[in-house]
Amino acid sequence: MTNNYQSTATPTLRFPEFRGGEQWKTAPLGAIAERVSTKNTDGSVTRVLTNSAERGVLDQRDYFDRDIATAGKVDGYYVVDQGDYVYNPRTSVIAPVGPISRNNVGKGVMSPLYTVFRFSAEKTDFYEHYFKSTAWHSYVRSAASTGARHDRMSITTGAFMRMPVPTPDSSEQQKIADCLTSLNKVIAVQGRKVEALKAHKRGLTQQLFPREGETLPRLRLPEFRDGPEWTTHPFEHFIGRSFYGTSSSTSEKGQYPVLRMGNMVDGTLDFSNMAYIDLDRESFDAFRLMRGDILLNRTNSMDLVGKISLFDLDLECITASYIVAHRLDKERLDPSFCNFMLNTPQYQAKIKAFARPSISQANINPTTFRKELNVSVPSLAEQQRIADSLSGLDDQIAAESEKFNALKTHKKGLMQQLFPLPEVSP
């Protein structure tokens, strides 16, 4: 049994030319759209589509890198035309009640697990944006229940097509759609800028460090081009002290923060979702991290074991036992340079090669890591210049990423004001 939704709704924010207009009305989805259930009985359509919460409707092969449904096995799939809308009942963090997306890629077939519908109106840009909002989520939650699988909504087609959707005047619909489409373009441009900077950093990093078997990088900073070749040593040559973190139990609250595997991200540390521990001062000092410590994640899945991060804060903090801290001799090896070096693809490949699989995880022996990992380094001055160059790029990436995230947050807030929640009557 579902809630009763009133037939009118008013957005918090309206464009000036519509502020004195009528209150928005709502209608059941089935009154302005029809369900599409044409089966691919003759198998004539072989392009299989899927609906991703993050990327929308796209070719199944592009999403999964392989065919999940093969030709000859899609006769029971629905034929979906360009412009049709698709509801995927599978839930995720991004789409808590499942995504609804417009098919903008062309004709194809989709699994009968999806609900496909087609609007009677020709222009539906407004609804493409509306279904990216959360305004319709409360209805789906009230009309559906989680099925046998906890990650899938169970909603009948009839209940789905009774979903109340707003039906403002077509001119106001287009104004809202144009606004959000324009904002999407700005966000996309900013996103490409961030990705371009990241790609530039990856390319630059590959050139600033020597390749396997070489003693000089392909690109050397001008003031060091006539300098000596880089020298190679076992990593332990540069280590003053190595130590494990604590094996004691942690909790959500406590005196000291404890870094865990999930806090190590792309060579940096993410201090959200922290664990904490209470220790006496003497015990804490035995594990305490110092600025410049290099952290090795020695235990994890084969994909994630060997992660390296730099602890670069003046903060009282320790690690869990599966993270090994290496305190460097800073007269020989600059910590920031070391972090960039050990996070390059070639060094990550070397580090992962030390991993030995166990029942459910892989492990790197810290002694093997120190003694058998050979690293090539230049003079301390050149190390610091390379680190400064890459740190500068990181600062740029962080600044542009912040703008990107701010734009997405702005869009989210704007959509909450442009699309009203349906009003529930007793």
**Strand order across the 24-28 sheet:** 8-9, 24-28, 164-166
Phi/psi of residue 215, each to 5°?
-115, 0
Q: What are the b/e assignments for 78-97, b being 16+ CB within 10 Å?
A: bbbeeebbbbbbbbeeebeb
Supply the DSSP string of 98-122, one letter for each residue: --EEE--S-SEEE-TTSEEEEESSS
Residue 257: pLDDT over 80: yes
Topology (CATH level 3) of domain 11-168: Adenine-n6-DNA-methyltransferase TaqI; Chain A, domain 2 (3.90.220)
pLDDT at 1: 43
* Residue 6's pLDDT band (cuts 50, 70, 90): low
What are the beta bridge partners of residue 152? 90
Q: Could you confirm whether domain 231-377 is CATH 3.90.220.20?
A: yes
pLDDT at 128: 97
Residue 16: pLDDT over 90: yes
Phi/psi of residue 139, each to 5°?
-65, -45
Q: For the chain, what is the mean pLDDT?
A: 91
Taking CA atoms, 7 is separated from 20, 126, 155, in Å, by: 19, 19, 22
The mean pLDDT value for 104-110 works out to 95
The CB-based long-range contact list for 355-364 (8 Å cut-off, 24+ gap) reads: 355/302, 355/305, 355/306, 357/302, 361/299, 361/300, 361/301, 361/305, 362/299, 362/300, 362/301, 362/302, 362/305, 363/298, 363/299, 363/305, 364/296, 364/298, 364/299, 364/305, 364/306
SS3 string, 198-264, reads HHHHHHHHHHHCCCCCCCCCCCCCHHHCCCCCCEEEEHHHHEEEEEECECCCCECCCCEEEECHHHE
How many angstroms separate the CA atoms of 155 and 172, rounded?
31
Place of tokens 């076992």: 234
**Strand order across the 256-259 sheet:** 275-277, 256-259, 318-319
Residues 6 or more apart whose CB falls under 8 angstroms from that of 253 comprise 276
Residue 62: pLDDT over 80: no
For the CA atoms of the chain, what is the radius of gyration?
28
Residue 21: pLDDT over 90: no
> Are the CB atoms for 317 and 285 separated by under 8 Å?
no
The mean pLDDT value for 176-199 works out to 98
Tokens of 218: 């392909």
Torsion, Cα 79 82 88 94, to 10 degrees, reads: 160
How many angstroms separate the CA atoms of 147 and 229, rounded?
64
**Pairing label, strands 318-319, 256-259:** parallel
> Are the CB atoms for 272 and 416 separated by under 8 Å?
no
Q: What are the b/e assignments for 158-168, b being 16+ CB within 10 Å?
A: eebbbbbbbbb
Q: What is the DSSP letter of 302?
A: T
Phi/psi of residue 380, each to 5°?
-60, -40
- Higher confidence at residue 165 or residue 358? 165
How many angstroms separate the CA atoms of 225 and 206, rounded?
17
First-to-final CA distance of the chain? 13
Residue 410: pLDDT over 70: yes
pLDDT at 5: 55
Over residues 308-358, the pLDDT tens digits come to 999 999 999 999 999 999 999 999 999 999 999 999 999 999 999 999 988
pLDDT at 381: 97
pLDDT at 65: 55
Amino acid letter at 233? H
How many angstroms separate the CA atoms of 206 and 202, rounded?
6
How many angstroms separate the CA atoms of 78 and 330, rounded?
64
Weakest-pLDDT range from 70-74, 99-103, 183-187: 70-74
Residue 211: pLDDT over 70: yes
> Are the CB atoms for 161 and 35 separated by under 8 Å?
yes
Over residues 72-93, the pLDDT tens digits come to 578 889 999 999 999 999 999 9
Residue 289: pLDDT over 50: yes
The mean pLDDT value for 289-302 works out to 94
What pTM value is reported for the model?
Answer: 0.84
11-168 and 231-377: identical CATH topology: yes
Residues 6 or more apart whose CB falls under 8 angstroms from that of 294 comprise 308, 309, 310, 311, 325, 326, 328, 335, 338, 339, 342
pLDDT at 274: 93
Q: What is the DSSP letter of 266?
A: T
Q: What is the DSSP letter of 16?
A: G
Residue 54: pLDDT over 70: yes
Q: Where are the domains of the chain?
A: 11-168, 231-377
